[in-house]
């Protein structure tokens, strides 16, 4: 007996059914906005990652030399691949480009609750528009996905911030600040105690007094946002951009679901404008459900032409945690519309009925293992068949079959020639007196 | 600029749309038969493959040592994984087990037309039934998939054979025959010249006279099948089993699409009963489109409990070749229901209309890049928008918008408050006089 590889999961049908529902639901949301599905490879040249992130990234990669001597890696994220694809067709692709895809990615990291080495994400990105409307459309898709999953507005909170407000504020202090370092400290603000946080800002170059002052500025609410503008031109431009994004989000009908939160920083270095993170409103799911934002320099960094970009990538493990907490995750159970049960030599009639029902689009099983009546009933129950169509030799002598509802056990005899007939979904009710 | 890894493909939206249609179509067919989707990992322990197939299989694997010192391989096929999953839950899983999944697999082999190192398959399998009805259900699903893809019965031919008829016939000669070797020779029969074929049978242990006699027997048609039975008990049992499978296929409504063809052998060693291959009826697609059959020993061979099994795994590359040849492959083009075009400052109205149309389930794009009228029209044309909804400042002063049909250029003014209204898919026709 073999074990699966650590951090890699098997999904049996019950769990897979719920996951498929979630994947289909959020892909459908994106597709209604005109995001187009792409298909991408599992392997890329390792240098695609090391050129940009340095050799140390290899520690987090599943990388190896293939039989032809190529250094390759299992893709840890989608962006470098997408950059490569855009370079390959840069003459043909008309902008803005709106792409969506759901697939696994792989990272060699610590396995913990909700974090695996093989993990599934739906990537949603717009390339080629630097307009606030593009940022706002990404926010609108995010909100609509959650809505389509059955979540209410008070189930989640989307916290919106802007990288250039953070970096502009940091640069407005009379100090030599490492803004990347400081923004990483802000990203960890809620996870560490206050002293550690202030120490980190100090390490990044702020005095302790400035660190306190900077932190006070992060508490600025939406109404006072304009008071920040006089700190610097960078901050003024960024607040104007953020306001424009929020105004577009208002037109797009999702403004109420967004909360200004300057202390939302996103840990990753590559963001350049609006950033956001989605949280469980109850805090029960303690980590960020997903996040995203604008990353105007990244495509060029991966060898593409300068291309403004904004996007997000919900991970299906954390999305599931939020849905479960909110009680909207579907029951992990099989669904079967009909089980056609054979008693005696009734296969040809049973097969005809199964075929007719399948042609109507129903999920229909029948006996393919020569089982007894009881064993077939047990199987039908196991796959949660809603209706069992009993095709028995003796019934057929009277040109009848029996419909049995599995939830209440009620049953009715039905003329075999009238079933299923042209009813869309014939059940007990259609034939009971 | 980076190159993709040799044998790995990118799918841009146009091509991906057609591929998604094909994947969804055949998965839907299987699901109506009660096959349940599973999700499986991309990596497995390398020994899962080498224990069964020997160290030489490593040459065909993308295998490597991970950061934790585990020998792992990108999965080249699904069966070992499925065997592992069945062992892990053998107490809970009620048989028959019917599983389906579509995903990429990876093999380091020669890249050629229709063959890649990353390739997509839909695996469809029944575990736990040795009854002919299970074989027949697999054949029925295969035929219905082709039917659902829009193929006619005369577009393809499914050739059915039986491993035990071949091996029984071989053993009935007074010679020490390596049946595996001989069956591999039969599998290559159509691809090599006759001398080479007879040489291969001779190498496997048949005299040249016996090889000719054996080959004559392979030409046995369906009406004469019973004449083979007196060659041996094995052959008698196998012909009876094959007849039972064909009789069940008749009840399942797919008998006419099956052709008896004893020279259909399937190259793989692990088949144990009925085998089949699907071919392009015109021969234009020269290789087998897909194949399958019964493999009752394989699950046990991979460490599972003895479990009868039957299945098939259409590869999406060859399936596409057949669909293209038959003219049923969908046009590789984007589809968009509406483009909502903004002229002047009309975003809030345009957004309201886009939102309403999306809520009706339509694919709707609007301007997110502050483009001119002409650029927006060009984009709408590029994404094949069927209808453009022009929301212009001046029109709005008269409380009107304009609907433009993109195929014929006709347009009509519509009161903004009446659009989209409660029509399912409002177009020019609904408003034209």
Closest among A430, A347, A340 to A383, alpha carbons compared: A340
Mean pLDDT of all residues in B264-290: 91
Closest among B36, B358, A335, A269 to B389, alpha carbons compared: B358
Among A residues 228-267, those touching chain B with beta carbons less than 8 Å apart: 248, 251-253
Q: How many CB atoms lie within 10 A of CB B433?
A: 3
pLDDT of residue A358: 97
Confidence of residue A120 (pLDDT cuts 50, 70, 90): very high
CB contact under 8 A, B42 and A94: no
A196-205, A213-222, B162-171, B420-429 — which is least confidently predicted?
B420-429
Mean pLDDT of all residues in chain A? 94
* Residue B79, marked binder: yes
pLDDT of residue B91: 84
CB contact under 8 A, A33 and B81: no
What domains, with CATH codes, occur in chain B? 13-40+75-326 (3.30.930.10), 336-431 (3.40.50.800)
Residues of A whose CB is below 8 A from B39: 9-11, 15-16, 19
ipTM of this predicted structure: 0.94
Which has more pLDDT, A347 or B111?
A347
Among B residues 122-141, those touching chain A with beta carbons less than 8 Å apart: 126, 128-129, 131, 133-134, 136-137
* Residue B271, marked binder: yes
Task: Report the binding-site residues of A for L-histidine.
Answer: 77-79, 107, 121, 125, 266, 270-271
pLDDT of residue B424: 86
Mean pLDDT of all residues in A348-355: 97
Highest mean pLDDT among A234-238, A283-287, B67-71 belongs to A234-238
pLDDT of B53 over the 80 cut: no
Which has more pLDDT, B128 or A302?
B128
pLDDT of residue B154: 95
Who among A38, A48, A84 is closest to B13 (CB)?
A38
CB contact under 8 A, A134 and B368: yes
Query: A362 at the B interface (CB within 8 A)?
Result: yes
pLDDT of residue B113: 76
CB contact under 8 A, A131 and B253: no
Report the C-alpha gap between B151 and B143 in whole angstroms: 9
pLDDT of B112 over the 90 cut: no
pLDDT of B267 over the 80 cut: no
| Tokens standing for residue B381 | 């044309």
Mean pLDDT of all residues in A252-273: 90
Identify whether the C-beta of residue A258 lies closer than 8 Å to the C-beta of residue A191: no
pLDDT of residue A304: 82
Least Cα separation, residue B178 to chain A (angstroms): 31
What does the DSSP 8-state code read for residue A5?
Answer: P
pLDDT of residue A265: 83
* Residue B338, marked binder: no
Confidence of residue A36 (pLDDT cuts 50, 70, 90): very high
Half-sphere exposure of residue B51, counting CA atoms within 13 Å on the CB side?
14
Residues of A whose CB is below 8 A from B356: none
Who among B33, B41, B87 is closest to A358 (CB)?
B33
pLDDT of B433 over the 80 cut: no
Mean pLDDT of all residues in A364-379: 97
Confidence of residue A18 (pLDDT cuts 50, 70, 90): very high
Give the burial string for B81-116 (b: 16+ CB within 10 Å, else e): bbbbbbbbeeeebebbbbbbbbbbbbbbeeeeeeeb
pLDDT of residue A303: 79
Report the C-alpha gap between A230 and B316 in whole angstroms: 59
Report the sign of the C-alpha dihedral through residues A7, A8, A14, A16, in that order. positive
CB contact under 8 A, A133 and B253: no
Identify whether the C-beta of residue B311 lies closer than 8 Å to the C-beta of residue B320: no
């Amino acid at each position: 007996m073999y074990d699966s590889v650590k951090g890699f999961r098997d999904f049996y049908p019950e769990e897979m059914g719920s996951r498929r529902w979630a994947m289909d639901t959020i892909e459908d949301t994106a597709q209604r906005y005109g995001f187009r599905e792409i298909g991408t490879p599992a392997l890329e040249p390792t240098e695609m990652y090391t050129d940009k992130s340095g050799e140390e990234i290899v520690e987090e990669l599943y990388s190896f030399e293939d039989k032809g001597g190529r250094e390759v890696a299992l893709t840890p994220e989608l962006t470098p691949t997408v950059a490569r694809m855009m370079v390959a067709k840069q003459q043909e692709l008309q902008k803005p480009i709106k792409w969506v895809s759901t697939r696994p990615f792989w990272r060699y990291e610590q396995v913990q609750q909700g974090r695996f080495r093989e993990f599934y994400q739906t990537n949603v990105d717009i390339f080629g528009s630097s307009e606030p409307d593009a940022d706002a459309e990404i926010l609108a898709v995010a909100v609509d996905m959650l809505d389509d999953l059955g979540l209410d507005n008070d189930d989640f909170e989307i916290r919106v911030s802007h990288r250039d407000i953070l970096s502009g504020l940091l640069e407005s202090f009379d100090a030599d600040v490492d803004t990347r370092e400081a923004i990483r400290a802000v990203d960890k603000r809620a996870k560490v105690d206050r002293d550690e946080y202030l120490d980190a800002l100090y390490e990044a170059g702020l005095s302790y007094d400035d660190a306190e002052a900077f932190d006070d500025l992060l508490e600025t609410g939406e109404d006072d946002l304009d008071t920040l503008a006089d700190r610097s031109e960078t901050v003024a431009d960024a607040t104007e951009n953020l306001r424009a994004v929020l105004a577009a989000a208002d037109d797009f009908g999702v403004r109420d679901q967004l909360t200004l939160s300057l202390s939302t920083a996103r840990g990753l270095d590559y963001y350049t404008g609006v950033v956001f993170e989605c949280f469980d409103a109850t805090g029960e799911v303690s980590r960020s459900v997903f996040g995203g934002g604008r990353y105007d320099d990244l495509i060029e960094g991966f060898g593409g032409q300068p291309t403004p970009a904004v996007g997000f990538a919900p991970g299906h493990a954390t999305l599931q945690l939020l849905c479960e907490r909110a009680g909207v995750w579907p029951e992990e159970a099989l669904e079967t519309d009909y089980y056609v049960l054979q008693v005696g030599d009734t296969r040809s009639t049973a097969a005809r009925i199964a075929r007719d029902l399948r042609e109507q689009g129903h999920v229909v099983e029948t006996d393919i293992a020569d089982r007894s009546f009881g064993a077939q009933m047990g199987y039908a129950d196991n796959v949660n068949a809603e209706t069992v169509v009993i095709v028995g030799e003796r019934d057929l002598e009277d040109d009848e079959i029996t419909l049995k509802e599995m939830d209440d056990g009620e049953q009715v005899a039905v003329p075999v020639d009238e079933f299923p007939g042209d009813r869309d979904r014939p059940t007990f009710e259609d034939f009971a007196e």
